[in-house]
Copies of this chain bind each other. A is one copy, B any other.
Amino acid sequence: MIYPKELEELIDYFKKLPSIGEKSAERLALAVLDFSQEDSENFSRSIQKIRNTLQKCDICGHITSTKICHICTNSYRNQNVICVVEDYKSIFRFEKIGKYNGVYHVLDGLISPIDGINPDDINISALIKRCNNLNSDDLELIIALKPTLEGEATTMYITKILKNRQIKISRLSYGIPMGAEIDYLDSLTLERALADRKEVL
């Protein structure tokens, strides 16, 4: 028994966090021990608070402290451009670019027959309903799912369901990440970059 039981417990919780190993967890727990009374109370309360106050937006599924999130209620944003994402973390990523002015739809998963995840298990029906309630003529769907078997199966499924509507559907381009060396690129990425090539002039 090197650490007091209470400290050992906190170390265990830190270890549940991504990319925090034994050593980091110890360092973090010891740092929390050095927090001021106020800081440790607030830190502790803050963990409770995010669980108790954050919920899913009724429209898009993003996490929010209100019934409808600030993106769906923002009248300056184009409610006719919907970016379809796997989870709410992707939304934070997009918002950080600061250039996207449409809204989002969180699927909360991807179709994966091998894991028993069917279209009904993810938030697709709500997306179809949303599309039905909007005017197809200037509706655009940007599917922003990861380039894996599951991501592509989900993209295909959504496209198939909506193909008879006048909706413009696109997906993110696959290709070379900025700054990468062509020489070290994996074959699949290079193949996709070739297939998704874009005319320069």
Contacts and interface: CB of A to CB of B under 8 A. Distances in A.
Nearest to A50: B6
Contacts of A54: 4, 6-7, 33
B32 A50 contact: yes
Q: Bin chain A's interface residue count.
A: 35 or more
A41 B89 CA distance: 22
Contact of A31 (B17, B49, B96): B17
Interface string A32-57: 11010101111111111111011000
Contacts of A4: 50, 54, 63-65
* Copies of this chain, tallied across the complex: 2
A2 B40 CA distance: 25
Contact of A41 (B10, B18, B48, B95): B48
27 contacts: A2-B92, A2-B96, A4-B54, A4-B63, A4-B64, A5-B65, A6-B46, A6-B53, A7-B50, A9-B49, A10-B43, A10-B47, A10-B50, A13-B43, A16-B31, A16-B35, A17-B32, A18-B28, A18-B31, A19-B24, A30-B92, A33-B50, A33-B54, A40-B47, A41-B48, A44-B45, A47-B47
Interface of A: 1-7, 9-10, 13, 16-20, 24, 26-33, 35, 37, 39-51, 53-54, 63-65, 70, 89, 92, 95-96
